[in-house]
């Protein structure tokens, strides 16, 4: 079958579930993963043919997409900040908004200044690392940094360790339940976290492909204590950040004001709330002084 004809059938079958742009994007993601071809390559080679064996392979993916399984889980990988990461049912799929958080940290710390941990340049801790996308991207782009990462899930950490090897970075991974941690045991110049922050009352806003397949442990918090992770991490940061140390969070878009209040109560200064590419309150910074 001509690849361009299969493309039309593929998109048509997905239209009841996805809009045409999303269905089309799935086709080209798979095309690159299976055939190392981009959109332009197919356009320049309109007679490219899928064999029967290849069609069966594509159909297997199509069936999973019709069940609304995320494309990243089907293919087993996701791209984040120019790197490729293994993802699975134990890890969240990295989001573009989180790339913005990483970019903010990198821009603020490309030059070493104002830190005490000179032996390592800077020391960074990522809490709730999941696939390791934040920690590994920081290690890759801040070569003067020594990076540590914590997660409560042993299986997530196994994935993160494989991702560190794949991306040729050195990160120290630690199995730890942050809510049961009283002290981090050492000082850090930067602490960053993208903890669970979706309230149960917001589940109706979550797409089926997220709700049914991504790990709820990494997504949801109780409605009556939505800031439980932020409060705990901020308390630990007051103990375990160096002087002038930086604290970064990805946050629930509806709780920006509450996050500012929380960091003020915890005595952080220079607090800055930023919006993401979708104009939602998404990340916040505070400095220990």
Residue 133 near residue 250, CB atoms below 8 Å: no
SS3 263: helix
Global confidence as pTM? 0.90
| First-residue to last-residue Cα distance in the chain | 65
For residue 248, what are its two tokens?
């970064």
- Tens digits of per-residue pLDDT, 71-123? 999 999 999 999 999 999 999 999 999 999 999 999 999 876 445 444 558 99
- What CA–CA distance (Å, rounded) separates 17 from 38? 24
Residue 144 near residue 116, CB atoms below 8 Å: no
Read off the pLDDT band of 256 (50, 70, 90).
Answer: very high
Cβ-based neighbours of 142, under 8 Å, separated by 6 or more: 105, 106, 109, 110, 121, 122, 124
Cβ-based neighbours of 154, under 8 Å, separated by 6 or more: 175
Name the average pLDDT for the chain.
93
SS3 187: coil
Between residues 55 and 204, the one the model is more confident about: 55
Residue 259: its pLDDT value, please? Answer: 97
85 strand-pairing partners: 78
Q: Is 120 left (phi over 0), alpha (psi -120 to 50) or beta?
A: alpha
Read off the pLDDT band of 235 (50, 70, 90).
Answer: very high
- What CA–CA distance (Å, rounded) separates 50 from 72? 22
φ, ψ of residue 207 to 5 degrees: the values are -65, 150
Residue 224: its pLDDT value, please? Answer: 85
């Amino acid at each position: 079958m001509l690849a361009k004809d299969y493309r039309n059938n593929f998109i048509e079958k997905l239209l009841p579930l996805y809009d045409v742009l999303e269905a089309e994007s799935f086709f080209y993601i798979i095309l690159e993963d299976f055939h190392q071809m981009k959109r332009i390559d197919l356009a320049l080679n309109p007679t490219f043919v899928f064999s029967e064996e290849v069609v069966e392979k594509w159909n297997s993916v199509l069936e999973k997409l019709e069940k609304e399984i995320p494309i990243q889980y089907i293919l087993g990988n996701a791209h984040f900040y120019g790197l490729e990461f293994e993802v699975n049912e134990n890890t969240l799929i990295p989001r573009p908004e989180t790339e913005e958080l990483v970019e903010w940290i990198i821009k603020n710390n490309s030059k070493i200044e104002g830190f005490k941990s000179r032996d390592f340049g800077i020391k960074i801790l990522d809490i709730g690392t999941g696939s390791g996308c934040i920690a590994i991207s920081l290690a890759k782009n801040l070569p003067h940094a020594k990076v540590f990462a914590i997660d409560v899930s042993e299986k997530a950490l196994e994935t993160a360790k494989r991702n560190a090897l794949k991306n040729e970075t050195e990160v120290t991974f630690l199995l730890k339940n942050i809510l049961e941690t009283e002290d981090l045991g050492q000082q850090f110049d930067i602490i960053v976290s993208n903890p669970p922050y979706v309230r149960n009352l917001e589940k109706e806003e979550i797409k089926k492909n997220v709700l049914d397949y991504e790990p709820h442990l990494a997504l949801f918090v109780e409605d009556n204590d939505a800031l439980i992770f932020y409060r705990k991490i901020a308390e630990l940061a007051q103990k375990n950040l160096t002087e002038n140390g930086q604290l970064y969070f990805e946050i629930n878009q509806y709780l920006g004001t509450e996050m500012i209040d929380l960091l003020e109560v915890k005595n952080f200064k220079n607090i800055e709330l930023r919006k993401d590419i979708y104009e939602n309150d998404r990340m916040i910074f505070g400095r220990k002084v």
